[in-house]
Structure 1
Amino acid sequence: MRRRVLTATGAVALVAGSVVAPVGNTPAHAEARECTEGVTRFVPEAPPAVARLGAAKAWSLSTGKGVVVAVVDSGVAANNVHFPKGSVLTGKSFVGGPATTDESGHGTAIAGAIAARDIGEKSGVVGIAPGATILPVKITGGENGGDEEQQRSANLAPGIAWAVSAGADVINLSLSTTANRADLRAAVAAAVKAGVVVVASGGNREQAADAKDGLRYPAAYPGVIGVAATNGADVVTPNSIRGPQVDLAAPGDNVVSTFRSWGDCVFSQEQQSSSYATAYVAGAAALLRQRLPQASPAVIAHRLEATASRGSRTVRNDVAGWGVVQPYEAMTTVLDESVAGPVAPGGVARPTPPPAVSRIDLTPAPDPRAPDRGAVLWLLLGVGAAVLALGMTRMLRQPQGS
């Protein structure tokens, strides 16, 4: 059997058999290795990203409760056990059928990384913002069939606009395109203006028609938080597109999340790594939105970027942006002029100091033995003068004409 699977760029990958995604090879993940349709399995260990992002500490301040996160994707399987009643809204489908179903599994995995509920010891799966509410906006798949790339292109901007009208606080866009489209740009700008935090994938290399590094949209639009994926060592995966659109990074390797209607699955870094990373940043934004309900999207983005973990506090790059997101620090750090990093909303860019000029000091170093040398010199001069005087005296005493 070959089945269609939605990729992070909206393209369709044909996957042989009933396995929906590559999975981890560790013994702890063995029982979820197959991720077979119709077979419910659970992964007992918590997602590595939850620990890496300090989620337990962040949950002491916020769980995302009351925050609505729109997942504009392939739908969300609301009957997964990690989504109890009320955690997934009805949403809207632009492709026929309910938005609370998911033919590919991509949207459900994204929603789980954001807001899956803890169901006890049999499963370790939990989202980074387990109190948030998911709003599914289904723009691909569905009952209408058809070309999913065309569906995504036609439905993405309307899907974003609908999410804003339906009350989304955060919009997750685990997708990207090289096309700078006017309708998409306008939809994103309207969302940001309405106070919605928009988070988007910086791009996945294996799924891109153009695999070269460079701008990807909607991540590159003003006000959008663009995301790259990291592995377990906080190194950005080779699959993540590099470019100016990258603002932050988050885990995208060995992601343990919800698998359609059937419990859990372990998704590897291959192909869709920045999709999962985007979900974790969207979840972090949901934590901040609950904690700072009046904060603008720009303030939330600045907090996430200024407090991210990175090697250089003063410089971003096109690989990891400002670094790996740190939700607890983003909620608690006092941001003032002493904090290095991105400029705060409304702030003035810090002047770049001129490079230091090395000057060579030509001032002679003091000679520690100069006094001794001076004394010897004066002694020699004195002796020489005495000898000369003695010689002249002898010459004057000699009788003349002798």
Structure 2
Amino acid sequence: MATPAMAQARDCTEGQTRFIADSPPALSRLAASRAWTMSTGRGVVVAVVDSGVAAANAHFPKGSVLPGKSFVGGRATTDETGHGTAIAGVIAARDIGEKSGVVGLAKGATILPVKITGGAPTGDEEQQRSANLAKGISYAVSAGADVINLSLSTTSNRPDVRAAVASAVKAGIVVVASGGNRDQSAEAKDGPRYPAANPGVVGVTAADARDVVTQSSIHGPQVDLAAPGDDILTTFRAWGDCVFSQEAQSSSYATAYVSAAAALMRERYRSASPAEIAYRLEATASRGSRTVRDDVSGWGVVQPYEAMTAVLDETVAGPVAPGATPRVTPPPQVSAIDLTPARDPRAGDRTTVLWLLLGTGASVLALAMARMLRQPQRS
């Protein structure tokens, strides 16, 4: 829930540096302080394939953001729209002391900015982003990324993007992508969104302050996990802090939180495959039913600490572990119910007792009447 200080800082003003002392609400919901006792993402490189990252922000000291690459001109360490910088802050913003509570969930990770949109205007931003997406993913692979964050989605299953994602997964990189936002999509109907629906990608949806996925997010088979997506306190271009996604949940920020969780996992489990990391995140997610996934929230809300510490074996309910045999759920056994009344085993005894009672009553009555008849009549 947004604090009063956060409520006053909803308007992000270009050129005006402002810091917010509150801690991002999502960090308490994700038990970040517990997770940091196990991992901070140190030594892990997270590629943010987006609009660039403003490395001039105070939360990104020297060395925390790599030079990266821009496919739209200029430098990858600049950001004209602010989206990429906000995503990078959710993942790996550094603590700068009491004046600001902003810090990333994987606060020790290093950001690799891959700029595929923004920069000099070239017409349709969606078309520009789609055209550069495969190239951006391929660059992140060659640059040594451990996790690739894709806070974007489309209904188009492009062959070049699919191939780039497959190459990243084969290289041992955890790829995390947005499951889609209804109000930001040209196609608002539920259904697959890409690259989240591509094989090997962890698809993410956004949950509200109650950890409930609402209609703000696209629902579909691409959804594997949920994470906080509203009242996101994070980095605002070069100008400190700001609160984003105040009116509705955004899967862009939820995706960043899952990427950060993957970075924590990667530091702790260096030799784990992308499938093994995804399995841990999904098996330990918070959900109503431990055995069932759905198209709304996937396997549930990500829980980084549990993902790093849980002992997982074949008895754990939920997704099937990599390499394990899929569970077979036997069909329910349906049998006819015999409604024939059961014979009362003491019916005979009850009948005998009843006759005895009737006989005794009749005898007593007969004696009484005979006695009355023998009494002399009074005149």
For normalisation by structure 2, the TM-score amounts to 0.90
The equivalent residue for 2:146 is: 169
2:79 equivalent to 1:102: yes
2:68 equivalent to 1:68: no
Distance across 2 between alignment mates of 1:101 and 1:209: 27
Q: Secondary structure at 1:32's aligned position in 2?
A: coil
Distance across 1 between alignment mates of 2:23 and 2:354: 84
Distance across 2 between alignment mates of 1:254 and 1:79: 23
1:283-314 deviations in whole A, cap 9, x for unaligned?
A: 00000000100000000001111110000111
1:300-352 deviations in whole A, cap 9, x for unaligned?
A: 00111111000011111101000000001111111111111011111111111
2:240 equivalent to 1:292: no
1:7-50 deviations in whole A, cap 9, x for unaligned?
A: xxxxxxxxxxxxxxxxx975221442321001111111111110
Q: Secondary structure at 1:155's aligned position in 2?
A: helix
1:119-175 deviations in whole A, cap 9, x for unaligned?
A: 111111111100000000001112464432222121100000000000000000000
Please show how residues 364-383 of structure 1 align to structure 2 within 5 Å: 365=342, 367=344, 370=347, 372-373=349-350, 375-376=352-353
Contact kept in structure 2, 1:42 and 1:123, CA below 8 Å: yes
1:166-222 deviations in whole A, cap 9, x for unaligned?
A: 000000000001111110100000000000000000011111111111111000000
2:22 equivalent to 1:37: no
Contact kept in structure 2, 1:31 and 1:42, CA below 8 Å: no
The equivalent position to 1:80 in structure 2, one of 57, 67, 71, is 57
Q: Moved runs in structure 1, 4+ residues, more than 6 A?
A: 377-380
Distance across 2 between alignment mates of 1:376 and 1:228: 73
Gaps of 5+ in 1: 1-23, 384-402
2:218 equivalent to 1:241: yes
The equivalent position to 2:320 in structure 1, one of 329, 343, 353, is 343
Distance across 2 between alignment mates of 1:161 and 1:206: 29
Greater displacement, 179-188 / 268-277? 268-277
Please show how residues 2-401 of structure 1 align to structure 2 within 5 Å: 26-143=3-120, 145-270=122-247, 273-357=250-334, 359-362=336-339, 365=342, 367=344, 370=347, 372-373=349-350, 375-376=352-353
Contact kept in structure 2, 1:61 and 1:291, CA below 8 Å: yes
One-letter amino acid of the counterpart of residue 145, structure 2 = A
1:43-94 deviations in whole A, cap 9, x for unaligned?
A: 1111111010111101000000000000000000001011111110010011
Contact kept in structure 1, 2:153 and 2:179, CA below 8 Å: yes
How big is the shift at 1:268? 1.7
Matched residue count: 359
Distance across 2 between alignment mates of 1:237 and 1:254: 15
One-letter amino acid of the counterpart of residue 9, structure 2 = A
